Structure 1
Amino acid sequence: MPDTHEWLVTGMDCPSCAAKIKGAVAQLPGIEAVEISVMSRKLRVTATAHATPPADVENRVKSLGYGIEAFAQAGSAPNPHTGADEPTTQADVPWYRTGKGHLVLLTATLLVVAWGLALLLPASGNWPFIVACLAGLIPIALRAFAAIRAGQPFSIEALMTIAATGALFIGAAQEAALVVFLFAVGELLEGVAVSHARDGIRALSTLVPKTALREKNDMMEDVAATELVPGDVVIVRPGDRIPADGKIISGTGGVDESPVTGESMPVTRGPGDPVFAGAINNETALRVQVTRAAADNTIARIIRLVEQAEDSRAPTQRFIDRFSRWYMPSIVGLSALVVAIPPLFFGQAWSVWVYRGLSLLLIGCPCALVISVPAAIASALCAGARHGLLMKGGAVIEATAAIKTVALDKTGTLTMGQPEVTDILCLDQHSTAEVLTLAAAVEKASNHPLAQAIVRKAAGMALPPVQDSRAIPGKGVSAVFDGQIITIASPRHARQDGALSSTTAAQATAMESEGKTVVVLYTGTALALIGLRDEPRQDAQETIRQLRSLGVTPIILTGDNQRTAAAIAALLHTDYEAELLPEQKQQTIRELAARGPVMMVGDGINDAPALKQATVGVAIGSGTDVGWKPRTPPYCVTVLQTFRPLFALPARPWAISGRMYPSHSG
């Protein structure tokens, strides 16, 4: 039977690194499969038993200049999402403390010193630039020789070594030092971008609590969330995150599932209803029976979907690496012929033709490309930063220029990500201001998002005094005002209490058909209907208009309910798909990508698989994610407007079959 081993690889910051490691390890005897992920830094090797000892794999990876450590050997701890053992690594260190950061700082310092000496002491010649070049080139050359020993002679490091060495031989030390410095900067920027992406994945750990309150033998005990097994019963207190996928045994209350499903409003869950790991219990204590182990909970499945999406799309190596596979050997051979043939067959001077051969080598080897890759990436990153964008490498720029379809998440992307009061329908002699202040007074002690929206609406208004405020589990809140019990609840519960007439119920239904959540303020009879909705951002319509003007077809993909999704889609005049789980979003993106390049724009953890599956994924900094702060949208439009003109590619919109509206003229 084959053996499978896993390692953590450090110093790997790009698909080119991963491809280099995978190719080198695959050449070892007995290797059946090699899987490697840049984002998780995991290397998984399946080999014939005893054919290749794990130590051989480790030595091969170390010879390429990367760090490697077996999961079973180093301070491993159960991962809170997956239940698997993973090394307890700290967050990535700042760029200036990394090896690549040290190299950039060193070469930059030496270049500044060299230029200073050239100005102050012209007699010093090229020696300062030679020192600057060699200081940056030696680490690159060592990696090139390691790749050659591992059977990969034509790598970007080998290209850099030959080009810079040739430049030194023909006296272009200043140019050689600058090329080496720019190459080091490009490597560093790539590492920084990957580090930011890893921070986002690392933040997933905050979605699932590390501990849970387990009920056992009529006692409560704090246990690690990873110890929970199907059948365990846990208590989830108000404000806590649910530690595992499960089913409610007792208790009824609102559960905020937006981090997992994208549902914009808290959903009332009661006995028998399923709940997801990472969702937030907003109201009363819930007794939940665990139905899935930690390794198979919702967050763990989302992570696996991301990894599967990464594997399903082969890593795109940088253009230079692919180009140099055939071009670089040809140029090296041609340069050798230029050096040898004239002196050997025509009696020409060796000094002249060695110089010309090196000139051909320096010009022929794509040094301009070596410089252009990091320079173009740096330029694009700066342009993106001015628009509030962080881009992962240069490949995304070219891919963006060919986008045909943009799929947009709804909650927190096209909408504000929190409910707002949209309608107040008074049903008796009370004024709108009186109804609003009374409702806010009743709701002010509640932390429910709907309650907070009502309180925000009444900001700056004097609230009447109320007493005995309390939550009604799974229904709403109540308080005593002027000797009467005032209740705020959903229309269903108001109807059960006999406070809703058939006419008022029809009015509530009409408001709900517009995608609004309706609450009723009532005593014995209804006093008012209050409508709330997660409203579109002010620039959402302009975003859709600009996308269409660019020849790109927008579509909304959301986990929210059909009614709300239809209402928002009607306002924005675009197509939509609703009630999509993370894996369904990923499948929809896969289907769209089969018709043409697709961009996914999202902000929630539930969007992660779809973002990874898309040709270009845009994670915006707001909404239901785990650590971002709002910035000014629309990001996807900014990306397309910035980079489509660079490549001058035709905009050919792809017609998407789906729900269309009469007002949609596209």
Structure 2
Amino acid sequence: MEGNKQVYRLQGLSCTNCAAKFEKNIRDIETVDDVQLNFGAAKLTVQGLVSVEQLEAAGAFDGIKVLPERSREPVKKEPFWKKRENITTSISLLFTIIGYVLYFSLSESHPVTIGAFLIAIVVGGLPLFKVGVKNLTKLQFDMKTLMTIAIIGAAIIGEWAEGAVVVFLFALSEALESYSMDKARQSIKSLMDIAPKRATIRRGNQTMEIDVEDVQIGDVLVIKPGQKIAMDGKVLTGQSSVNQAAITGESIPVHKTSGDEVFAGTINEEGSLEVRVTKRVEDTTIAKIIHLVEEAQAEKAPSQQFVDKFAKYYTPAIMIISFLVAVIPPLFFGGDWNNWIYSGLAVLVVGCPCALVVSTPVAIVTAIGNAARNGVLIKGGIHLEEAGRLETIAFDKTGTLTEGKPEVTDIVTFADKSETEMVSIATAIEEYSQHPLATAIKRKAIRLQAIEYQAENFLSYTGKGAKATVQGEEYFIGNPALFSEMLTIDNEAQDRINQLQIEGKTVMLLGTNHELLGLIAVADQIRKSSKSIIQKLHKLGIKQTVMLTGDNQSTGVAIGSSLGLSEVKAELLPEDKLTIINGLKAKHGHVAMVGDGINDAPALATANVGIAMGGAGTDVALETADIALMADDLEKLPYMISLSRKTLTIIKQNISFALALKVLALLLVIPGWLTLWIAIFADMGATLIVVLNSMRLIKKGAV
């Protein structure tokens, strides 16, 4: 069935109800096996044999345009005032104004006045009536059905003026909803425009420009200064600064040279580069980001699920209340039929769940788009909401709070050897070792411009160290345990070793089998930004910050106290991290785990929110985590927590406000003050405020 799967982009998809109807119409096509419509991303996936014409016919009721996903057809940007529905709304407003001029100059019941209002109702409400009447015949009750009943009812009881105003305000409310969703969808469209559609490649002696779809793995990209990189790959020749802001959110360009990884959509700033392509266009990091952002928008957040369930029962309840308001007072209390039918219609209008329905999706879509543009990939509304509720964050140490790259911090000599001489000997012994500590010594040797000695008769002592003959003398390098077996370490040296270990450093001794020459201390360097990030998180209301590390207790405590962490758990195996995350969840509730996404995968999956760092470089991080910080840096963590909290606040404000306004308007029925005017203003006003409130999340500096 996979061979018949086709993906399309949609234009003109105006509301959630239209999306549901469009999906149902496609499902009814005989040759279609399955269909998935993602409203937030305006994306359609169809399984089965179907043509674009058939799909457009299924969406003709809403003027939906269907484009194949890889279509080269440019997206036509229509100005707001040129859209068909906005033109009809404007004409409806014009005739409503003319009607009111006639209302005051002639009379309410004059045929010309009624005619002006009737034109306003028909022009502004025709698309609404078509759908509403069809739904009514099928006993499907949505917003358009409710509005159709209300407007027809207003006409029957002679309330032409109010019927026209209701049509205009409803059309205006729909136009605003459509506009807000379009703005939210722009966050995805802007991501899709990041990577170039064509690439310059060299095959043999030929240089050519081709579509990115035709680029093959192994092709060599030629990238000039100022150009965007079209595909993911590794630098073959050249060096340059590359602006990776589009992928990682980092504002400072990263220096790239031979062997370094580059990503599609990033900008080559200075030098020329030749890059060997490592991924096909659909597998590039930016393609994965777009796919995951779209999937995130399709997944409903808990508050959205609540709203959907609520609206399911709410609409029939409003219809019953409306009917009871219209018939009970005239039947049992001698009320005026006209007045109470009018009040019933007003209840119907005020009960429209427009504001409630848009309260969550606009906020979620906008926030996820904002985060993606800032180098944070949030894989669903549920994770966005969970992040907003966090009180505890657990961090992996190596590569998260620290650089993950040990450096030599101290060189202490106990004999007549200089620091450079000691490092030269140590480097010669460690030449064949790939251990991180050995690599740190080699880096130090380069910086000190140490002498290049050759080592002979190398022998490794597993878990302790090594020995070799350098310049005719046998030297040992290793941990204190190795030397305590050969000679007595004096008190001065032992005190120094203890002090360095308390500071969280790993100590290696260098000497012969009868003399200790000195020691070299190595430590994983804390990231410069880690301390300020922990402080920002505490200010944002994160109560517990916990570090999880496999390092010894003294190293863990030293780093934890220097960073201002609440708690340190040291000497842990990967499975221990899992147990601790479960314990933190039981004790503190909502817990996030931050790691590199590889050895931390079980802990990331167990936490309420798994946050992986360096998502741009690792597929594992993108797959295992709920949220990926695309840069290999924690800088975006406070931003993400703040954005999540703001989104959660806005969703709560939207739902509370939409419901409160409805209840307030419905209470006006009791003294008989509820008019169609007030009803539609309550409905449209709530929708407008909810949309504008959600749009606060669209700005890049929203947090």
TM-score (norm 1): 0.56
Whole-angstrom CA distance in 1 between matches of 2:245 and 2:210: 26
| CA distance 1:643–1:271, change in 2 (3 Å) | closer
Question: Is the 8 Å Cα contact of residues 155 and 321 (structure 1) preserved in structure 2?
Answer: no
| One-letter amino acid matched to 2:82 | R
Q: Does 1:97 align with 2:113?
A: no
**Cα distance, 1:257 vs structure 2:** 3.5
Whole-angstrom CA distance in 2 between matches of 1:281 and 1:492: 32
Alignment counterpart, residue 181 of structure 1, candidates 163, 168, 184: 168
**Aligned twin of 1:110:** 95
Q: Does 1:33 align with 2:15?
A: no
| CA distance 1:281–1:30, change in 2 (3 Å) | closer
Q: Does 1:515 align with 2:512?
A: no
Matches within 5 A, 1:423-462: none
Task: Report SS of the residue matched to 2:62.
Answer: coil
**Cα distance, 1:357 vs structure 2:** 7.8
**Cα distance, 1:213 vs structure 2:** 2.6
| CA distance 1:100–1:233, change in 2 (3 Å) | same
Q: Does 1:60 align with 2:10?
A: no
Question: Is the 8 Å Cα contact of residues 34 and 43 (structure 1) preserved in structure 2?
Answer: yes
| CA distance 1:174–1:95, change in 2 (3 Å) | same
Whole-angstrom CA distance in 1 between matches of 2:20 and 2:608: 28
Alignment counterpart, residue 594 of structure 2, candidates 569, 574, 577: 577
| CA distance 1:275–1:375, change in 2 (3 Å) | closer
Task: Report SS of the residue matched to 2:229.
Answer: coil
Question: Is the 8 Å Cα contact of residues 233 and 262 (structure 2) preserved in structure 1?
Answer: yes
**Aligned twin of 1:194:** 181
**Aligned twin of 2:355:** 373
Question: Is the 8 Å Cα contact of residues 200 and 208 (structure 2) preserved in structure 1?
Answer: yes
**Cα distance, 1:229 vs structure 2:** 0.7
Alignment counterpart, residue 275 of structure 1, candidates 233, 247, 262: 262
Alignment counterpart, residue 120 of structure 2, candidates 132, 143, 152: 132
**Aligned twin of 1:545:** 539
**Cα distance, 1:264 vs structure 2:** 6.5
**Cα distance, 1:294 vs structure 2:** 1.0
| CA distance 1:227–1:624, change in 2 (3 Å) | farther
TM-score (norm 2): 0.53
Question: Is the 8 Å Cα contact of residues 258 and 279 (structure 1) preserved in structure 2?
Answer: yes
| One-letter amino acid matched to 1:223 | I
String of CA shifts for 1:160-194, please: whole Å, max 9, x gaps. 10012112222333433333333222211221122
Question: Is the 8 Å Cα contact of residues 52 and 66 (structure 2) preserved in structure 1?
Answer: no
Alignment counterpart, residue 215 of structure 1, candidates 202, 206, 215: 202
Task: Report SS of the residue matched to 2:35.
Answer: strand
Alignment counterpart, residue 287 of structure 1, candidates 244, 249, 274: 274
In structure 1, list runs of 5 or more residues that go unmatched.
72-83, 390-395, 409-490, 517-532, 557-562, 618-622, 626-630, 650-666
**Cα distance, 1:278 vs structure 2:** 2.2
String of CA shifts for 1:365-390, please: whole Å, max 9, x gaps. 3x113387399979x99xx9xxx99x
Matches within 5 A, 1:186-585: 186-262=173-249, 266-282=253-269, 284-313=271-300, 322-323=312-313, 326-327=316-317, 330=320, 355=338, 358-359=341-342, 361-363=344-346, 365=348, 367-370=349-352, 373=355, 403-405=388-390, 496=446, 498=448, 513-516=525-528, 545-547=539-541, 570=563, 577-579=594-596
Matches within 5 A, 1:154-169: 154-169=141-156
Task: Report SS of the residue matched to 1:85.
Answer: coil
Matches within 5 A, 1:588-627: 592=608
Whole-angstrom CA distance in 2 between matches of 1:227 and 1:374: 46
Whole-angstrom CA distance in 1 between matches of 2:347 and 2:218: 68
Task: Report SS of the residue matched to 1:35.
Answer: strand
| CA distance 1:223–1:70, change in 2 (3 Å) | closer
**Aligned twin of 1:519:** none
| One-letter amino acid matched to 2:45 | R
Question: Is the 8 Å Cα contact of residues 338 and 356 (structure 1) preserved in structure 2?
Answer: no
**Cα distance, 1:494 vs structure 2:** 9.4
Whole-angstrom CA distance in 1 between matches of 2:92 and 2:201: 56
Task: Report SS of the residue matched to 2:351.
Answer: helix
**Cα distance, 1:57 vs structure 2:** 4.4
| CA distance 1:500–1:235, change in 2 (3 Å) | farther
String of CA shifts for 1:274-293, please: whole Å, max 9, x gaps. 33222334554332211211
| CA distance 1:605–1:230, change in 2 (3 Å) | closer
**Aligned twin of 1:485:** none
String of CA shifts for 1:70-128, please: whole Å, max 9, x gaps. 63xxxxxxxxxxxx622523353222221232233233333444444444555666635
**Cα distance, 1:142 vs structure 2:** 1.6
- Worse-superposed segment, 635-644 or 291-300: 635-644
**Aligned twin of 2:45:** 44
**Cα distance, 1:362 vs structure 2:** 1.4
Whole-angstrom CA distance in 1 between matches of 2:117 and 2:309: 29
**Cα distance, 1:512 vs structure 2:** 8.9
Whole-angstrom CA distance in 2 between matches of 1:590 and 1:15: 33
- For these two proteins, the number of residue pairs brought into alignment is 493
String of CA shifts for 1:4-53, please: whole Å, max 9, x gaps. 45554432133332112112332344542111122443333324x6xx87
- Worse-superposed segment, 185-194 or 277-286: 277-286
| CA distance 1:86–1:268, change in 2 (3 Å) | same
| CA distance 1:578–1:182, change in 2 (3 Å) | farther
**Aligned twin of 2:16:** 15
Whole-angstrom CA distance in 1 between matches of 2:627 and 2:655: 16
**Cα distance, 1:244 vs structure 2:** 1.0
Task: Report SS of the residue matched to 1:93.
Answer: coil
String of CA shifts for 1:206-257, please: whole Å, max 9, x gaps. 4323332312223333333332111111123344332212223334555444
| One-letter amino acid matched to 1:513 | Q
**Cα distance, 1:140 vs structure 2:** 0.8
String of CA shifts for 1:526-565, please: whole Å, max 9, x gaps. xxxxxxx79969xx9678535459xxx9999xxxxxx9xx
Task: Report SS of the residue matched to 2:14.
Answer: coil
| One-letter amino acid matched to 1:86 | S
| CA distance 1:132–1:377, change in 2 (3 Å) | farther
| CA distance 1:338–1:99, change in 2 (3 Å) | farther
**What percentage of residue pairs aligned between the two structures are identical?**
22
Whole-angstrom CA distance in 2 between matches of 1:129 and 1:554: 64
Whole-angstrom CA distance in 2 between matches of 1:299 and 1:568: 38
Whole-angstrom CA distance in 1 between matches of 2:354 and 2:75: 34
Whole-angstrom CA distance in 2 between matches of 1:568 and 1:637: 28
Whole-angstrom CA distance in 2 between matches of 1:331 and 1:235: 69
| CA distance 1:175–1:534, change in 2 (3 Å) | farther
Task: Report SS of the residue matched to 2:24.
Answer: helix
Quick check: which one's helix share is greater?
2
Question: Is the 8 Å Cα contact of residues 95 and 188 (structure 1) preserved in structure 2?
Answer: no
Question: Is the 8 Å Cα contact of residues 36 and 42 (structure 1) preserved in structure 2?
Answer: yes
Whole-angstrom CA distance in 1 between matches of 2:450 and 2:251: 26
| CA distance 1:548–1:188, change in 2 (3 Å) | farther
Question: Is the 8 Å Cα contact of residues 231 and 284 (structure 2) preserved in structure 1?
Answer: yes
| CA distance 1:638–1:202, change in 2 (3 Å) | closer
Whole-angstrom CA distance in 1 between matches of 2:244 and 2:34: 38
RMSD over aligned CA atoms reads: 6.3
| CA distance 1:329–1:298, change in 2 (3 Å) | same
- Worse-superposed segment, 223-232 or 159-168: 223-232
